Amino acid sequence: MSLALLGFALAVTLEALFQGQTTMWEGVPNWASVILFFFFMSIVGFLEAMQIAFFAVTKMTKDEQGDHYFAKKTCHLLFKGKGRNLPSFMIGRQLCVTLCFFIIARVTTLNVETGTGENIFGVSDPIQNFFNTGLMGAFVTTILGSIAWQLVASAFPIAILSNPLTYILLWFCLLLEWTGIVAGAWVVAAINKKVRGFKRDEEYVGTPEERAAKKHEDHDENLHVGTGHPRIPVQPAGSGEFDLHNVDDDDDEDEDAAKKAEEKAAANEEAAEEKV
């Protein structure tokens, strides 16, 4: 059902683009509008994937981050110093997404005058008025320009990190943040941190390397990894043990039960020997 709705919404949007019936600026050829639509939607989607991949890699040790050239360069740039570039990327990414959606909205919003017989696919005027709200374009960009990319990145974060475009867009987002246009976000975040007493996760659970040294490392082989399922288990701040939502605990419970049974049997044997 969802795919059918997506196909219909995409067909309506493309028909309007090829007919020049959108709010795109005058003078831009129809074919150029189509190219801009897919180009900026792909950029937004890739930025969404980068966000998911970056947060996934923060839970990985350096060895787990892969040995691909661009994966290493991206991680080095992202986490150098005190890791300030990660939140800087988040600010620059949001600004870049906003700019892209400004253009996408112009491209995908239909501007068909009803009552002239030029309705898309010959639909009735009420339906055409519904199309003119821009919801068709919003539906397409939500799936093709956001959710689909996030699902892929959640299952394959290293593949996203290894793409050269990731490194280029990371630099671009950091450059946008460096301009200081939305620097007020830092002030608001600092006030929120001060008021609520937030601390970094590492102060509660340690770094990935520290967790591995304490034999609390993540075990990917126990995770049911698929599209849309995060590779990295979540550790709630301040909790004592990992909350592994995607792990089957049956094997661990069987091992614990067997171990307790062995210990009880050994204790019984010792008690019998003492009586003798």
- Give tens-digit pLDDT for 77-91: 888 867 788 889 999
Cβ-in-10-Å burial (0-12, 13-18, 19+) of 176 comes to: buried
pLDDT digits (tens, 9 = 90+) for 26-59: 889 999 999 999 999 999 999 999 999 998 887 7
> How large is the angle between the packed helices 135-142 and 85-108, nearest 10 degrees?
140
Contact (CB, 8 A) for 77 and 7: no
- At residue 75, the pLDDT reads 86
Two structure tokens written together for 192: 């929120």
DSSP 8-class letter at 145: I
- At residue 197, the pLDDT reads 83
Per-residue pLDDT of the chain (276 residues; tens, 9 = 90+): 889 999 999 999 999 999 899 999 888 999 999 999 999 999 999 999 999 999 888 777 766 766 788 888 888 888 886 778 888 999 999 999 999 999 999 998 998 888 888 899 989 999 999 999 988 989 999 999 999 999 999 889 888 999 999 999 999 999 999 999 888 888 988 898 888 888 776 676 666 666 666 666 555 555 555 555 544 444 333 333 333 344 344 445 556 666 666 776 677 666 666 655
pTM of the model: 0.68
Pick from 260, 273, 73, 92: which is nearest to 176 by CA?
A: 92
Alpha-carbon dihedral angle through residues 166, 169, 171, 177, given to the nearest 10 degrees: -130
